[in-house]
């Protein structure tokens, strides 16, 4: 479903700490970070704390560059719900040493996704309830209408700097109350009345 590199925006929700007046910022994940429901999340053995963040994924359907906001949705093929996983210990070390976040964000299976949601199946992507449950307990639940910037604004912004290719996946940002997951955990996430996925967490 998502064969190209995942391009990640985070955070973009109004109740995040991101400055609403600032430009969005983003990092990248490779295609090997993507994992679908028939496989496990596999955490590298040397990693300690893995943070999960539930996010709506927007899948690009047509190659585009420097897209106007008003035309941005013409390039969307569909959606998914994803987890943006981050190795917290690796991130802290990278920040302290002023190094790239590659090891923290880009490990294999660091982007679990639900099944593909066709464009017409999600009537209003700016008014959809995202949720996440870990080991049977609720963790995240929020509406995409709380996003600081809309999906068209995000597509337009990133396309000014990078050509978006067919099947590129943009993760639009996470609600509050994200938390840590560990080997042995079971994480379930989705979007109300549309789709959900369940993953077991394992270690290498």
Q: What is the pLDDT of residues 63-91, one digit of tens each?
A: 999 999 999 999 999 999 999 999 999 98
pLDDT of 20: 54
Residue 22 has pLDDT above 90, yes or no: no
Rg (CA), the chain: 16
Counting runs of H as helices and runs of E as strands, what totals does the chain give? 3, 16
Q: Tell me how far apart the alpha carbons of residues 204 and 46 are, in angstroms, rounded to a whole number.
A: 9
**Within a 10 A sphere around the Cβ of 194, how many other Cβ atoms?**
17
Q: What is the pLDDT of residues 160-194, one digit of tens each?
A: 998 999 999 999 888 889 999 999 999 999 999 99
Task: Judge contact between 36 and 6, C-beta under 8 A.
Answer: no
> Considering the entire predicted model, what is its pTM?
0.89
Residue-range domains of the chain with CATH: 6-203 (3.90.850.10)
């Amino acid at each position: 479903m998502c064969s190209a590199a995942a391009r990640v925006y985070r955070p973009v929700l109004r109740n995040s700490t991101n400055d609403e007046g600032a430009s969005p910022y983003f990092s990248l994940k490779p295609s090997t970070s993507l994992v679908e429901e028939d496989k496990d999340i596999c955490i590298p053995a040397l990693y300690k704390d893995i943070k999960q963040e539930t996010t709506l994924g927007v899948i690009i359907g047509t190659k585009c560059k420097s897209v106007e906001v008003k035309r941005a949705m013409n390039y969307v093929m569909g959606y998914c719900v994803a987890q943006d996983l981050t190795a917290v210990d690796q991130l802290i070390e990278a920040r302290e040493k002023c190094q790239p976040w590659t090891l923290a964000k880009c490990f294999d299976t660091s982007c679990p996704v639900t099944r593909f949601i066709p464009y017409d199946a999600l009537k209003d992507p700016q008014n959809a309830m995202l949720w996440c449950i870990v080991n049977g307990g609720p963790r995240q639940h929020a509406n995409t209408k709380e996003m600081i910037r809309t999906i068209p604004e995000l597509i337009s912004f990133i396309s000014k700097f990078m050509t978006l290719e067919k099947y590129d996946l943009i993760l639009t940002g996470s609600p509050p109350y994200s938390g840590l997951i560990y080997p042995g955990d079971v994480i379930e996430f989705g979007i109300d009345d549309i789709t959900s996925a369940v993953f077991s967490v394992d270690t290498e």
